[in-house]
Structure 1
Amino acid sequence: MKNLIFSFLIGMCAIGGFAQTVPNQKASSKLISKQIVEIACGECQFKMKGKDCELAVKIDGKPYFVDGKNIDDFGDAHGEHGFCNAISKAEVTGEIVNNRFKAKEIKLLPTSK
C-alpha cells in the first residue's frame, strides 16, 4: 500500500512538473498595430543568427525575423539602399509569436535626406 501511495505521489509530481514546462501560446504573443520600427536584413544589419539573408524588424529594441513578407518584396535586398546594406523605417502591423514577427502589413516610410 505504501508503494502504491508513493508511486501515486511521484506520478503527480512528474505531471505537475511537466505541466509547468509546456509553453503557453498566449503568453508568448504580442499584438503590434501601426508601430514605427527599424527594418532590414536580420543577418547583415541586426547581426542575428540565420541561414541566409532574411527580413527582420526591430521592435522596442529587439530584432525579430519576419514571416509573411520576403526580404526582396521591397526591392533588391543587395542593392545600394537594400535591406542588406541599410536600415530603413517602416510602419508595421502584426503579431510577435514565438520570437518571430507575423506581418499583416508593412509600409516602408520615406527616407529622410
Structure 2
Amino acid sequence: MKTLAIILLFSAFAFTGKAQTASKKSSADREITKQIVDIACGECQFKMKGKSCDLAIRIDGKSYFVDGKNIDDFGDAHGKHGFCNAVNKAEVSGKIVNNRFKASNIRLLSK
C-alpha cells in the first residue's frame, strides 16, 4: 500500500512538470507580422553570445538571432553604416521558434 502511494505521488509530480514545460514552450513561440524592430549584428551591437558576426533583431527589449537571412544580405556588415557598426530599423515578418527568429520577410527601413 505504501509503495502504491509513492508511485501515485511520483506520477502526479511527473505529469505536473511535463504539463508546465509544454505550456512554456508553446507560449514562447509566436508569429510576427510586419512589426518594426531594431536590426543589427547580435554580437557587436546587442552583446549576444556567438561565434562570429550574425544578424539579429530586437523585439520588446529581447534579442533573437535570425534564421533565413544573412548579415551580409543587406550590404557590408562592417561598413560605416553596416550592422556591426549601427543599429537600424526594419519591418519583419516570421516566427519566433526556440528563441530564434525564423524570417519570412525583412524590409530595411533605414541605413
TM-score interval (norm. to shorter): 0.7 to 0.9
Question: CA offsets per residue over residues 5-43 of structure 1, 9 Å max, x none?
Answer: 235324423532442353444222111111111100000
SS at match of 1:104: strand
The unaligned stretches of length 5 or more in structure 2 are: none
List aligned pairs for 1:1-113, cutoff 5 A: 2-20=1-19, 22-24=21-23, 25-111=25-111
The number of aligned residues is 110
Say which one has the larger Rg. 1
**In structure 1, distance between residues paired with 2:84 and 2:102:** 20
Q: Normalising by the residue count of structure 2, what TM-score does the alignment of the two structures yield?
A: 0.85
Greater helix proportion: 2
- Which stretch has the larger CA shift, 53-62 or 24-33? 24-33
Change (3 A) 1:19 1:110: closer
User: Considering only aligned residues, what root-mean-square deviation do their CA atoms show, in Å?
Assistant: 1.8
- Percent identity between matched residues is 58
Aligned-residue offset at 1:102: 0.9
Aligned-residue offset at 1:85: 0.8
SS at match of 1:81: coil
SS at match of 2:95: strand
